[in-house]
Amino acid sequence: MTKKLYPILGLLLATAVLLAACGGSPAPATGDAPVEQPTAAPAEVIFTTPSGYGVTLEAVQSRGNLICGVNSQVPGFGYVDADGNFSGVDVDYCRALAAAIFGDADAVEFRPVTAAERFTALQSGEIDVLSRNTTWSTLRDTELGGNFVHTTFYDGQGLMVREDSGITDIAGLDGGTICVQTGTTTELNLADVFAAAGVSYTPAVFEDADGTFAAYAEGRCDAVTTDKSGLVSRRTVLADPEAHVILDVTMSKEPLGPMVRHGDDQWFDIAQWTVFALISAEEFGVTSANVDSMMTSSNPEVLRMLGAEGELGAALGLSADWAYNIISQVGNYEEVYNRSLGPDTPTYIPRGLNSLYTEGGLLYAPPFR
């Protein structure tokens, strides 16, 4: 019996050696592998950049649809209903991007990804763009191999507690238990903020949003923390939404937005200007209802955006009417927002920071020129 284990042990050792070799060589660059490195590395540098530029658009166009990584558990942002339909502002961004590329907002396949697997899914090319209430942060923007396109929703981390607990601030949670989802910036902010405030707590950490809120609903923890938008939307699906309050505490800045892979600047530009088209359309008063009449607007910038004048679409590698398609099929930022988070929805969130700069918010798009 024992002898049979030797091959396995051998394999184990071999794997370890291989790993060590893989891990060791890139750091000292040419230190112990002078033969291999100089031939491999420059070749990579010369050929990767040109082949990276434009490959994503080409792949998407030849596939015929856009694959978008979304959330399926947060109403208002990314949620799948009983009929399998996706809705939410993050989902609508995907539809806007598909409209820009194909002129068809439905040419998109939604792929639900968990917080834990989203970056791997993007890195490995399983999805073309990640639009899943993802917080923009340094490591994610660099080491995780992605680029944040633009903030589409300015959020902040909050805490929700039971109203009858009488807790009103962080100090009130001293010695308590807090439910949080793993693999999120939320998890790290929670540790940071409570450490800074000198308040002791026990985390109860779960794999997904459903698990986290189920445990909170059972009373496993005194508070649950995630982005305030997430709290608002998840509160609507709790058994008795009125029994829970969101504390007036903002624990962090959470700029949420879509993310694309490193290495393809054209794709980055397309993803970014799709956001700008949504924002600018609201600024110029272009809506899905009046976009046809706006084609003859007296404002030259509107004409350039809609493709009636100039060749901005070609500069992005898209057709001239790319922005027209976005607005006519998906709407402008305000329409997208109100459809999922507006006053008429159960997940109403006041616009606050997510208003145009002209109205005291942070939405500000560069000029179309």
Partner 1 sequence: MANAPKAHANPPFWRDERALRLLAQLAFGAAVLFFGYILIQNMVNGLRQQGTTLGIGFLQNTAGFDLAETLNDYTRSSAYIQAFLAGLYNTLLVSAVGIVLSTILGIILGVARLSSNVLVRTLATAYLELMRNLSLLVFLIFWYLGVFLKLPLVRDAINWPGNIILSNRGIGIPWGIPTETWPAFKLFLFGGLLLALAIIVIFHFQGKRTGKAPLAIVWAPLAFIAVAVAGWFLQPAAPLSLDLPAVQGLNIRGGRIFTPEFMALVSGLVLYTAAFIGEVVRAGIQAVSKGQVEAARAIGLTSFQTLRLVVFPQALQVIIPPLTSQYLNLTKNSSLAIAVGYPDLFYVSNTILNQSGRAVEMITLVMLTYLMFSLITSIFMNWYNARVRLVER
Q: Which residues contact partner 1 by CB under 8 A? A: 1-2, 5, 8-9, 12, 15-16, 18-19, 22-24, 26-27, 44, 48, 52, 115-116, 119-120, 123-124, 139-140, 143-145, 173-177, 182-184, 187-188, 190-192, 195, 201-207, 211, 214-215, 218-220, 222, 261-263
Inter-CA distances, 318 with 92, 323, 330, Å: 19, 10, 17
Q: How far is the CB of 39 from partner 1 (least distance, A)?
A: 14
Q: How far is the CB of 230 from partner 1 (least distance, A)?
A: 17
Closer of 176 and 342 to partner 1 (Cβ): 176
SS3 string of 226-281? EEHHHHHHHHCCCCCHHHEEECCCCCCEEEECCEEECCCHHHHHHHHHHHHHHHHH
Contacts of 273 (CB under 8 A, 6+ apart): 316
Closer of 12 and 362 to partner 1 (Cβ): 12
Closer of 120 and 299 to partner 1 (Cβ): 120
Name residue 208's amino acid.
Answer: D
First to last CA, the chain: 75
Closer of 12 and 315 to partner 1 (Cβ): 12
Q: How far is the CB of 195 from partner 1 (least distance, A)?
A: 6
Write out the two tokens for 226. Answer: 């995630």
Q: How far is the CB of 115 from partner 1 (least distance, A)?
A: 7
Closer of 34 and 166 to partner 1 (Cβ): 166
Q: Count the Cβ atoms, other than its own, within 10 Å of residue 144.
A: 16
Closer of 140 and 351 to partner 1 (Cβ): 140
* Whether 193 contacts 199, CB under 8 Å: no
Q: How far is the CB of 48 from partner 1 (least distance, A)?
A: 6
* Whether 215 contacts 204, CB under 8 Å: yes
Q: How far is the CB of 88 from partner 1 (least distance, A)?
A: 22
Bridge partner residues of 67 (DSSP): 109
Q: How far is the CB of 272 from partner 1 (least distance, A)?
A: 20
230/239 Cα distance (integer angstroms): 16
54: left (phi over 0), alpha (psi -120 to 50) or beta: left
Q: Count the Cβ atoms, other than its own, within 10 Å of residue 86.
A: 20
The secondary structure of residue 145, as a DSSP letter, is: S
Q: Count the Cβ atoms, other than its own, within 10 Å of residue 204.
A: 17
Closer of 169 and 207 to partner 1 (Cβ): 207
* Whether 269 contacts 251, CB under 8 Å: no
Q: How far is the CB of 14 from partner 1 (least distance, A)?
A: 9
349: left (phi over 0), alpha (psi -120 to 50) or beta: beta
Closer of 162 and 339 to partner 1 (Cβ): 162
Q: Specify the 3-state DSSP secondary structure of 161.
A: strand
Q: How far is the CB of 117 from partner 1 (least distance, A)?
A: 9
Closer of 184 and 325 to partner 1 (Cβ): 184
Q: For the chain, what is the radius of gyration of the CA atoms? A: 24
Write out the two tokens for 167. Answer: 């807790």
